């Protein structure tokens, strides 16, 4: 099977890339190994994607993106891509025991927050357990929230949460933060922020919503309960980069390095969305990346395939 563009991953980045690519009359296939829509499908209320005055569910938002891409002819293939040959002009993709060829590939495999891996956590995601203050912070106006972690993201997001929450309690496993000093100082000066040191969360309690955190002090082994309305977990974000060979340049965190055209170091291969080395991981940035990547892929196909006369760029 031959395509102009193969997109790996049908989260917001892949869906947007598919809309732009298919609308540009490129033969486009989008591969998805789990759920079309990506990470955002678990979110009940997306309040910050432009164009929706009222919150929209992540599922509904991305289902509409899919319908939009299909209207322009994008093909969705619900298979995991397990191998990718990047050499030469023609890229070869393996999924479900079959081989697919493409002139250009856009990697939109996304990322996922590192979980604490404690009882109650996965069950209460979207019901008080969150990994994204930018996304969910505004839902906690005048509430008490906990932030788990001590690095830059945890403390910056904790400070951000004080705009809404009446109290932000940072729970950190050590007796000092890892965040940059300037960020720490801002946090210590903030009257809404409190700190619980040398402590880890060992269980998250709640039936239909989060109710309290079960904490254990690592030095005294004392167990305590902390009632909260929400908990934001920042113990790291992991790129979904298992597929990428050593040929794609990654940063130290494992995210794909691109230029402003979303181009990787391998000609004809682009990356968009959360998998990319970037400063903000949101639906709006993922869709913007996807649009740029599809535009760049089209330019690349026209330039290279016209000059090599392999096939018409537009089938
Ligand atoms: C709980 C939560 C709440 C959030 N709330 C908001 C919010 O309110 N507003 C906002 O703007 N952002 C929010 N975000 C962030 C937003 O979800 C992400 O920034 C966005 O989904 C990134 O899109 P993406 O397409 O780059 O990656 P993803 O959404 O991660 O999609 C990547 C897709 O690629 C697929 N994939 C991976 N590898 C393969 C493979 N080998 N073969 C086939 N498919 C593959 C995955 O299954 C996945 O579906 C939230 C995130 C979380 C976790």
CA 9 / ligand 1 centre spacing (Å):
9
Domain annotation covers residue 17: yes
Minimal-distance CA residue to ligand 1 atom 5: 135
Mean pLDDT of 11-35: 97
CA 248 / ligand 1 centre spacing (Å):
20
Same domain, 98 and 13: yes
Mean pLDDT of 26-41: 95
- Lowest-confidence range among 68-72, 111-115, 217-221? 111-115
- Lowest-confidence range among 115-129, 250-264, 295-309? 295-309
Model-wide pTM > 0.75: yes
Residue 314 has pLDDT above 50, yes or no: no
Residue 59 has pLDDT above 50, yes or no: yes
pLDDT at 42: 73
pLDDT at 306: 66
Over residues 263-311, the pLDDT tens digits come to 999 999 999 999 999 988 999 999 999 999 999 999 999 999 864 333 4
Same domain, 162 and 241: no
Same domain, 101 and 241: yes
Same domain, 228 and 241: no
Over residues 228-244, the pLDDT tens digits come to 999 999 998 899 999 98
Angle between helices 283-308 and 12-23 (to 10 degrees): 40
Q: Is 217 exposed, middle or buried (0-12, 13-18, 19+ CB in 10 A)?
A: middle
Cα dihedral across residues 114, 120, 122, 126: positive or negative: negative
Same domain, 33 and 91: yes
Domain annotation covers residue 226: yes
Q: How far apart are CA 292 and CA 84, in angstroms?
A: 22
Label each residue of 54-119 as H, E or C: CCECHHHHHHHHHHHHHHCCCEEECCCEEEEECCCCCEEEEECCEEEEEEEEEECCCEEECCCCCC
Q: How far apart are CA 275 and CA 194, in angstroms?
A: 33
Domain annotation covers residue 313: no
Q: Which residues contact 87 (CB under 8 A, 6 or more apart)?
A: none
Minimal-distance CA residue to ligand 1 atom 30: 110
Looking at 233, 268, 298, which one is the last position of a domain?
233
Domain annotation covers residue 314: no
CA 173 / ligand 1 centre spacing (Å):
28
Same domain, 66 and 37: yes
Minimal-distance CA residue to ligand 1 atom 26: 273
Same domain, 32 and 108: yes
Q: Is 270 exposed, middle or buried (0-12, 13-18, 19+ CB in 10 A)?
A: buried
201: domain range?
A: 115-233
Query: Domain total for the chain?
Result: 2
| Residue 196 belongs to domain with CATH number | 3.50.50.60
Mean pLDDT of 46-67: 94
Give percent above pLDDT 90 in the chain: 82
Same domain, 217 and 243: no
Instruction: Name all residues whose Cβ lies below 6 A of ligand 1.
Output: 8-14, 31-35, 38-40, 42-43, 46, 48-49, 80-81, 108-111, 113, 130-132, 135, 240, 243, 273-274, 281-284, 286
Looking at 174, 203, 233, which one is the last position of a domain?
233
Minimal-distance CA residue to ligand 1 atom 17: 40
pLDDT at 130: 94
Same domain, 221 and 242: no
Looking at 233, 261, 293, which one is the last position of a domain?
233
Domain annotation covers residue 54: yes
């Amino acid at each position: 099977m031959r395509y102009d563009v193969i997109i790996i991953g049908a989260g917001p980045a892949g869906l947007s890339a598919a809309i732009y690519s298919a609308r540009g009359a490129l033969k486009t296939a989008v591969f998805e190994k789990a759920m079309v829509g990506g990470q955002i499908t678990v979110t009940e209320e997306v309040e910050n994607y432009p164009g929706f005055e009222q919150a929209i569910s992540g599922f509904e938002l991305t289902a509409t993106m899919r319908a939009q891409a299909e209207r322009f002819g994008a093909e969705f293939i619900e298979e995991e891509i397990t191998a990718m040959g990047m050499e030469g002009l023609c890229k070869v993709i393996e999924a479900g025991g079959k081989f697919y060829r493409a002139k250009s590939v856009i990697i939109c495999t996304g990322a996922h927050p590192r979980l604490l891996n404690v009882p109650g956590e996965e069950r209460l995601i979207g019901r008080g357990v969150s990994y994204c203050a930018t996304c969910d912070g505004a839902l906690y106006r005048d509430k008490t929230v906990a932030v788990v972690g001590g690095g830059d993201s945890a403390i910056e997001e904790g400070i951000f949460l004080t705009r809404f929450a009446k109290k932000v309690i940072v729970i950190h496993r050590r007796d000092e933060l890892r965040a940059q000093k300037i960020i720490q100082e801002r946090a210590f000066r903030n009257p809404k922020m409190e700190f619980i040191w040398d402590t880890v969360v060992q269980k998250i309690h709640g039936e239909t919503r989060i109710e309290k955190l079960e904490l254990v002090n690592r030095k005294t082994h004392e167990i305590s309960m902390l009632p909260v309305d929400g908990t934001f977990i920042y113990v790291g974000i992991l790129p979904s980069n298992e597929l990428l060979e050593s040929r794609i340049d990654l940063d130290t965190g494992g995210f794909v390095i691109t230029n402003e055209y979303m181009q990787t170091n391998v000609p004809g291969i682009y990356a968009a969305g959360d998998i990319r080395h970037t400063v903000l991981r949101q639906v709006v940035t993922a869709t913007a990346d996807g649009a740029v990547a599809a535009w760049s892929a089209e330019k690349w196909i026209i330039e290279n395939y016209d000059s090599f006369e392999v096939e018409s760029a537009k089938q």
